[in-house]
Amino acid sequence: MRKTVLFFIFIMLVTLLPGLEVPFSRQPVLEDSNLFSDFVRVDPDDSIPEKLPTKAWLWQDDNNLMIHFECEIDDNFAAGYPVDRDGYPRSEMLRVQLKTLADEPFAYVFIAYPSGSLADGVRRQDMSIDYQWDSQYGYQSSHTDSTWSVTFTIPLGSLRFKKEPPYRWKVILTRYHYVDGETFSSPYANSDHKQTYFDSMHAITLTHPIKRDRKIELRPYFVKSYDLINKTSSFDPDMLGLDIALKPTQQTSIKVSLNPDYSDTPPDEAADIYNMDVPYLPYENRFFFIEDLDFFGLSYGVFESRNINQPSLAYKGTGIVGKTKWGILGALDKKVTQNGYLLNRDDYFQVLSLTSTISDFTFTNATVSRLNNGYYNHLYNGIYQYQIYKYMDLCASVIGTIKQDDNAQDNSVKKGYQAGGTLSFYPGRFVFTTSYDKTSKDIYADAGYLYYKNRQTYSVTSSWNSKPMYGFLKQASCFASVDGMDWFHEGGTDSELVYYGTLTLESKSRLKTTFAAQAGNMYDELHRDHNYYSFGTSIILNRWIGFIPVVNFSRSHTMVYALNDTYDCNSFYATIGGVLAKKYNYYLFWNIKDYAYPKENIIDYGGVPYTIHLDDRYSIFNASLRYMPNLQFSLTTGLSYSSYETPNYYPQLGYYANLRYEFKRDWFIYAGFKSAQTRDVAPTGNDYLGHFSKDSASAYFKVSVSL
Assigned domain for 212 exists: no
Name the band, by pLDDT with cuts 50, 70 and 90, for residue 385.
very high
Query: What mean pLDDT value characterizes the chain?
Result: 90
Residues 551 and 665 placed together within one structural domain of the fold: no
Residues facing residue 678 across a β-bridge: 652, 693
Number of folded domains in the chain?
4
Q: Could you give the dihedral angle defined by the CA atoms of residues 205, 209, 210 and 212, in that order, rounded to the nearest 10 degrees? A: 130
Question: Does residue 652 contact residue 662 with C-beta atoms inside 8 Å?
Answer: no
Residues 599 and 544 placed together within one structural domain of the fold: no
Assigned domain for 8 exists: yes
One DSSP character per residue, 453-481 reads -SEEEEEEEEEEEPPP--SSEEEEEEEEE
Residues 535 and 615 placed together within one structural domain of the fold: no
Residues 61 and 182 placed together within one structural domain of the fold: yes
Indicate if the pLDDT at residue 378 is higher than 50.
yes
Residues 52 and 192 placed together within one structural domain of the fold: yes
Report the C-alpha gap between 647 and 598 in whole angstroms: 14
Report the C-alpha gap between 97 and 74 in whole angstroms: 26
Percentage of the residues of the chain whose pLDDT score is greater than 70: 95
Assigned domain for 344 exists: yes
Assigned domain for 270 exists: no
Residues 507 and 394 placed together within one structural domain of the fold: no
Assigned domain for 666 exists: yes
Please tell me the predicted confidence (pLDDT) of residue 292. 66
For strands 455-465 and 430-439, give the pairing.
antiparallel
Please tell me the predicted confidence (pLDDT) of residue 10. 44
Average the pLDDT over each of 13-22, 322-331, 471-480 and give the range with the smallest value.
Answer: 13-22
CA 517 to chain CA centroid, Å, is 26
pLDDT digits (tens, 9 = 90+) for 226-248: 888 888 775 556 678 888 888 77
Question: Which one, of 263, 62, 48, 83, lies nearest residue 153 by Cα?
Answer: 62
Please tell me the predicted confidence (pLDDT) of residue 637. 97
Name the band, by pLDDT with cuts 50, 70 and 90, for residue 138.
very high
Determine the average pLDDT of the residues in 484-504. 97
Residue 480 structural domain: 452-560
Question: Does residue 420 contact residue 438 with C-beta atoms inside 8 Å?
Answer: yes
Please tell me the predicted confidence (pLDDT) of residue 103. 77
Indicate if the pLDDT at residue 526 is higher than 60.
yes
Contacts 24+ apart (CB under 8 A), 30-35: 30/57, 30/68, 31/57, 34/58, 34/59
Determine the average pLDDT of the residues in 66-74. 97
What amino acid occupies position 186? Answer: S
Of 545, 560, 575, at which residue does a domain stop?
A: 560
Please tell me the predicted confidence (pLDDT) of residue 8. 44
Indicate if the pLDDT at residue 473 is higher than 80.
yes
Indicate if the pLDDT at residue 3 is higher than 70.
no
Name the band, by pLDDT with cuts 50, 70 and 90, for residue 290.
low
Residues 704 and 622 placed together within one structural domain of the fold: yes
The length of the chain, given as a count of residues: 707
Indicate if the pLDDT at residue 12 is higher than 60.
no
pLDDT digits (tens, 9 = 90+) for 544-595: 989 999 999 999 999 999 999 999 999 999 999 999 999 999 999 999 999 9
Indicate if the pLDDT at residue 4 is higher than 60.
no
Please tell me the predicted confidence (pLDDT) of residue 285. 67
Name the band, by pLDDT with cuts 50, 70 and 90, for residue 7.
very low
H or E, element range at 147: strand 147-155
Please tell me the predicted confidence (pLDDT) of residue 5. 44
Determine the average pLDDT of the residues in 379-396. 93
Q: Could you give the dihedral angle defined by the CA atoms of residues 39, 43, 48 and 54, in that order, rounded to the nearest 10 degrees? A: -30
Please tell me the predicted confidence (pLDDT) of residue 498. 98
Of 535, 560, 585, at which residue does a domain stop?
A: 560
Please tell me the predicted confidence (pLDDT) of residue 666. 85
Residues 421 and 489 placed together within one structural domain of the fold: no
pLDDT digits (tens, 9 = 90+) for 622-679: 999 999 999 899 999 999 999 999 988 899 999 999 999 999 988 999 999 999 999 9
Q: 237 — alpha (psi -120 to 50), left (phi > 0) or beta?
A: alpha
Residues facing residue 633 across a β-bridge: 661
Report the C-alpha gap between 420 and 431 in whole angstroms: 20
Report the C-alpha gap between 171 and 186 in whole angstroms: 9
What amino acid occupies position 6? Answer: L
Q: 14 — alpha (psi -120 to 50), left (phi > 0) or beta?
A: alpha
Question: Which one, of 353, 362, 363, lies nearest residue 329 by Cα?
Answer: 353
Residues 307 and 412 placed together within one structural domain of the fold: yes
Determine the average pLDDT of the residues in 394-412. 95
310 Cβ contact partners less than 8 Å away, ≥ 6 residues apart: 260, 333, 334, 336, 344
Please tell me the predicted confidence (pLDDT) of residue 197. 84
Assigned domain for 266 exists: no
Assigned domain for 597 exists: yes
Assigned domain for 256 exists: no
Comparing 132 with 237, the larger pLDDT belongs to: 132
Report the C-alpha gap between 48 and 40 in whole angstroms: 5
340 Cβ contact partners less than 8 Å away, ≥ 6 residues apart: none
CATH of the domain at 50: 2.60.40.1190
H or E, element range at 3: helix 2-16
Residues 230 and 302 placed together within one structural domain of the fold: no
249 Cβ contact partners less than 8 Å away, ≥ 6 residues apart: 212, 319
Indicate if the pLDDT at residue 540 is higher than 90.
yes
Name the band, by pLDDT with cuts 50, 70 and 90, for residue 341.
confident
Distances (CA, A) of 294 to 122, 326, 327, 358, 521: 10, 12, 10, 20, 35
Indicate if the pLDDT at residue 600 is higher than 60.
yes
Question: Does residue 190 contact residue 172 with C-beta atoms inside 8 Å?
Answer: no
One DSSP character per residue, 40-82 reads EEEETEEEEEPSS-EEEEEEEETTEEEEEEEEE--TT------
The verdict on whether omega for the bond into residue 260 sits within 30 degrees of 0, i.e. cis, is: no
Of 183, 206, 229, at which residue does a domain stop?
A: 206
CATH of the domain at 697: 2.40.160
Percentage of the residues of the chain whose pLDDT score is greater than 90: 63
Report the C-alpha gap between 140 and 142 in whole angstroms: 7
Residues 654 and 540 placed together within one structural domain of the fold: no
Residues 53 and 168 placed together within one structural domain of the fold: yes
